[in-house]
């Protein structure tokens, strides 16, 4: 059971919208179904989805067990960068969804991993077996998956302790004037658009992105980003926040942008401590040809 006590900043908020923010993973449709089924209560009483909470109210959520979905192994080619009995590192192509979700129960990285590997950790259930962290559908690059529960717990603890190395390459709008910087701004659900994240102090979590300027062009910059935290859409939200949105980003960037399908963002470097041997592991994957071609065009114009 999860519980929250309403503070003054959320006084008079709708219960369904608020639980979406507080939970961080559930959609509004899911939350409204939970409310209808009595899984969400305020001060021990069942309420309706449009109920307005008051300061001091106690919200209780008994989240129902997720419905079992049969996720089938699929023979999908994988670019395996490293693999042993505990962990597998793959270079995910742009356009591939990481794990099944409504509307995407096939063709995902998980479907491919289930076919490729004899086993994956079961900590995240049947929908996300082995998945320790995610990268967006239209972001390419390195991602690790755990083959057993011990490896999963170890890698998850590393992520939480911020000792995992995750570097990205990105092409962003505008000419950045300083050689390096840190964006320290909390991220939460966008209050105006529930499908987006935003820099906000309302129901948010700390988010820190470091960056180094690699090159500048006439209207764009090429940067290396390092994640200290791993919030949903973090790099995309943070660079939009400082008025340098990722080129090609359909959700956070301008319509007039470079000719690329999806954001020009690539998870280039991944480093972690091996869950069994304690060895420092570090992997790199070069930016994909489409992004390299864009860089060449920008350099030629410049």
Across residues 206-218, what is the average pLDDT? 97
Q: Given the structure tokens 């470091």, which residue do they identify?
A: 210
pLDDT digits (tens, 9 = 90+) for 112-164: 999 999 788 876 666 678 899 999 999 999 999 999 999 999 999 999 999 99
Q: For residues 154 and 146, what is the distance between their CA atoms, to the nearest angstrom?
A: 9
Single pTM value for the model: 0.78
pLDDT digits (tens, 9 = 90+) for 223-243: 999 999 999 999 999 999 999
Q: Which of 21, 86, 136, 138 is catalytic?
A: 136
Query: Is residue 74 within 8 Å of residue 112, measured between CB atoms?
Result: yes
pLDDT band for 69, please (50, 70, 90 cuts): low
Asked if the model's pLDDT at residue 68 lies above 60, the reply is no
Q: How are strands ordered across the β-sheet holding 58-61?
A: 2-5, 58-61, 40-42, 45-46
Question: What's 114's DSSP letter?
Answer: H
Query: Is residue 199 within 8 Å of residue 191, measured between CB atoms?
Result: no
How do 265-273 and 280-284 pair as beta strands?
A: antiparallel
Q: For residues 298 and 219, what is the distance between their CA atoms, to the nearest angstrom?
A: 9
Structure tokens at 191: 């209050």
Asked if the model's pLDDT at residue 73 lies above 70, the reply is yes
pLDDT digits (tens, 9 = 90+) for 269-287: 999 999 999 999 999 999 9
The structural domains of the chain, ordered by start, are 2-61 (3.10.290.10), 67-161 (3.30.2350.10), 167-267+292-301 (3.30.2350.10)
Q: For residues 298 and 264, what is the distance between their CA atoms, to the nearest angstrom?
A: 13
Q: Given the structure tokens 């900043």, which residue do they identify?
A: 9
Q: In 3D, which of 267, 292, 235, 278 has the Cα closest to residue 79?
A: 267
Q: For residues 242 and 221, what is the distance between their CA atoms, to the nearest angstrom?
A: 13
pLDDT digits (tens, 9 = 90+) for 8-67: 989 999 999 999 888 877 778 879 989 998 999 999 999 999 999 999 999 999 987 755
Structure tokens at 161: 């302790």
Phi, psi of 32 (to 5 degrees): -65, -35
Q: Quick check: is 136 catalytic?
A: yes
Burial of 87 (0-12, 13-18, 19+ CB in 10 A): buried
Query: Is residue 246 within 8 Å of residue 170, measured between CB atoms?
Result: yes
How do 197-199 and 87-92 pair as beta strands?
A: unpaired
């Amino acid at each position: 059971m999860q519980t929250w006590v309403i503070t003054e900043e959320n006084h008079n908020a709708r219960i369904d919208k608020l639980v979406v923010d507080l939970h961080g993973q559930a959609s509004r449709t899911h939350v409204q179904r939970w409310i209808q089924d009595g899984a969400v209560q305020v001060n021990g009483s069942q309420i309706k989805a449009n109920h307005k909470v008051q300061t001091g109210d106690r919200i209780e959520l008994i989240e129902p067990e997720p419905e079992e979905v049969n996720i089938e192994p699929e023979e999908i080619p994988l670019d395996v960068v490293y693999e042993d009995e505990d962990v597998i590192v793959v270079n995910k192509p742009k356009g591939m969804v990481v794990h099944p979700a409504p509307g995407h129960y096939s063709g995902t990285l998980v479907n491919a991993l289930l076919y490729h590997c004899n086993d994956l950790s079961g900590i995240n259930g049947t929908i996300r077996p082995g998945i320790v962290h995610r990268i967006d559908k239209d972001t390419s690059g390195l991602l690790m998956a755990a083959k057993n529960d011990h490896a999963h717990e170890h890698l998850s603890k590393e992520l939480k302790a911020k000792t995992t190395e995750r570097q990205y390459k990105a092409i962003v709008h505008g000419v950045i004037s300083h050689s390096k910087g840190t964006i320290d701004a909390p991220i939460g659900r966008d209050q105006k658009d529930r499908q987006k994240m935003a820099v906000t102090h309302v129901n948010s979590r700390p988010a820190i992105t470091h960056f180094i300027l690699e090159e500048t062009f006439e209207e764009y910059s090429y940067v290396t980003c390092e994640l200290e935290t791993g919030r949903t859409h973090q790099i995309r939200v943070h660079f939009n926040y400082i008025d340098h949105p990722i080129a090609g980003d359909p959700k956070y960037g301008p319509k007039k942008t470079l000719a690329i399908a999806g954001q020009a963002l690539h998870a280039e470097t991944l480093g972690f401590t091996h869950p069994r041997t304690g060895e420092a592991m570090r992997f790199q994957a070069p930016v994909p040809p489409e992004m390299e071609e864009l860089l060449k065009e920008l350099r030629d114009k410049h």
